[in-house]
Structure 1
Amino acid sequence: MTDQELVELAFTMLERSYVPYSHFPVGAALECADGTIFTGCNVENAAFGSTICAERTALVKAVSEGHRDDFTRLAVVGNSTEPCWPCGACRQMLYEFAPELTLLVARKDHSFVKLTLGELMPHGFGPKGMD
């Protein structure tokens, strides 16, 4: 699957988002080394702290299916003119499992920025910091 195809798959998740408060749908598609893809969308809640982002939805689905250390790429998309960057909580959750994960962070016109999570979050805190 090409980078653009992974981004397009993430865009299909926007329609599944539950966003009655922010009205800002976000979609994600997380790829594993074996080619398995886990998708996610954001799901808001009236108790705002209970909201879950698209990236964490995809990650939790993957982990619950037995994937933990084989993530290769993540596409994150939204309906904004700027790239739809992962929030701090998502960056931290992703760093736990894949500090060198490749991110494809898209704008509403389907163009995207490509970088690693390590570039986005230098000096991140992960499991190695617990040694």
Structure 2
Amino acid sequence: MHKKGAAKMSLIDDARKVRENAYAPYSNFAVGAAIKTIDGNVYKGINVENVAYPEGTCAEAGAIAAMCAAGERQISEVAVIADAPAPVPPCGGCRQKIAEFAGPDVVVTMATMDGKTLQMTVADLLPGRFTADHMANS
């Protein structure tokens, strides 16, 4: 994590740098993620594979776990980067995890190592998402 007073660095740069620490010996598909909270703090995550598929962890989930461990709960921006021909979106499970802590208008920037980017809102990535409102009668 780094605080909002730190040297100005883009969220994609944060994701790019942390991606170097990904543990992907089986797929060789390293992913880095960085999330910014409404307080301006940045939390980073990487994918961590396990020989017993599907027991690995996605980069986005790791960043969200770090945010929650620090006591924060509101995402204001997300960045994800991988070495792929086109920007890679979060998987379905991570889309739901992001939606748990981010409003529908929060921007998710997906990037490739060679500089291609794609931006979508949380609502665009996960239309009709399951929310706490669905559990109102519970």
Q: Same fold (TM over 0.5)?
A: yes
Instruction: Choose from 67, 82, 89 the match for 1:85.
Output: 89
Cα deviation per residue 1:62-97 (whole Å; 9 max; x = unaligned)?
A: 0111111x2100000000011111001111111122
Distance 1:17 1:36 in 2: 21
Quick check: 1:51 aligned with 2:61?
no
The one-letter code sitting in structure 2 at the alignment partner of 1:57 is: G
The aligned counterpart of 1:95 is 99
Q: Is the 8 A contact 2:86 2:116 kept in 1?
A: no
Instruction: Choose from 109, 113, 119 the match for 1:108.
Output: 113
Name the Cα RMSD after superposition: 1.4
Quick check: 1:65 aligned with 2:70?
yes
Quick check: 1:22 aligned with 2:27?
yes
Distance 1:56 1:63 in 2: 10
Q: Is the 8 A contact 2:19 2:30 kept in 1?
A: yes
- Stretches of 4+ aligned residues off by more than 4 angstroms: none
Shift of 1:99: 3.9
Q: How many residues align?
A: 128
The aligned counterpart of 1:31 is 36
The one-letter code sitting in structure 2 at the alignment partner of 1:98 is: A
Moved more, 89-98 or 27-36: 89-98
TM normalised by structure 2 equals 0.87
Structure showing greater Rg: 2
Q: Could you tell me the percent identity over the aligned residues?
A: 35
Distance 1:5 1:61 in 2: 19
Distance 1:98 1:41 in 2: 19
The one-letter code sitting in structure 2 at the alignment partner of 1:13 is: V
Q: Which runs of 5+ in 1 are unaligned?
A: none
Q: Is the 8 A contact 2:46 2:62 kept in 1?
A: yes
